[in-house]
Each structure stands twice: as C-alpha cells, then as structure tokens.
Amino acid sequence: MSSVNIDNKIVMYIGNNESFELEVTDEDDIAVPITDAEIIFSVKEDFTDEEYIFQRKNSFAGGGDDEIKITDGGNGLAEIYLVPDNTKDLLAGTYVYDVWVKLTSGIEKTVVQNRLFLEDSVKKPV
C-alpha cells in the first residue's frame, strides 16, 4: 500500500501497482479546470538530472488513460497510475517527482514536486 502525505511525499513499495489522485488548484485553493489538458508525471533521481527514470502521461500528452486519467476535469481532478514495470528495476531509496500540466489556454505549470520514497518488499517483482 502506498501513501501520499500532506506535503505530497509519496511512499510506496517497489514493483507495486499504485494510484494517486491529483487535484489542480490555484493559489486560492480553487479548482483549476483541466479538461483536455496535457498532464505528465515524471520521476528522476534528482531534480537537476536531465534524464527521467520514467514518465506517465495522459492521452492529451501522448500517453493513455491507463497512465493518467482526467476523472473530473471541471474540478481539476485526475488519477495517476503506476504499474510494476515503472519501479521493479529500481533500488529502494529516495527519488524526486513532479507533475506538469499544460492547459488548453496554453498555460504550462509544474503543479507539484516532491520526493518519492521507494521501499523494498519481501517478495521481489519478477
């Protein structure tokens, strides 16, 4: 089981299926409509790295609803899905992630960034 705490830190086990709700709001905590927006969830070892370990994208960004699905675009809600292949070859430790959104108005913004903590499990993914 995974968790996302109030600071948006993600803790999960290597090789698990996980999903996380994304809520896009403005500075006043009002929902930002994301209908037809491009959304990309990116993971790196460090924020300064050029290369991504993996990315998940919604259909408008070239991915699919099995990666990121806008669940209630008018209220700024989407679901991010991770699958075992995303993390099964990684070592336990701390990584970084961010979520980037491009609205239909052309506005591009990183809406969240923080740490992703991968924990080892007794049963190793194959």
**Per-residue pLDDT tens over the stretch 35-76:** 999 999 999 999 999 999 999 999 999 999 999 999 999 999
CA atoms within 13 A on the CB side of 38: 15
> Domain residues for 104?
3-119
Phi then psi for 69, rounded to 5 degrees?
A: -120, 130
- How would residue 7 be classed by pLDDT, with cut points 50, 70 and 90? confident
Q: What is the total count of domains within the chain?
A: 1
Domain annotation covers residue 106: yes
* pLDDT single digits (tens) 10-41: 999 999 999 999 999 988 989 999 999 999 99
**What CATH number has the domain bearing residue 77?**
2.60.40.3350
Domain annotation covers residue 126: no
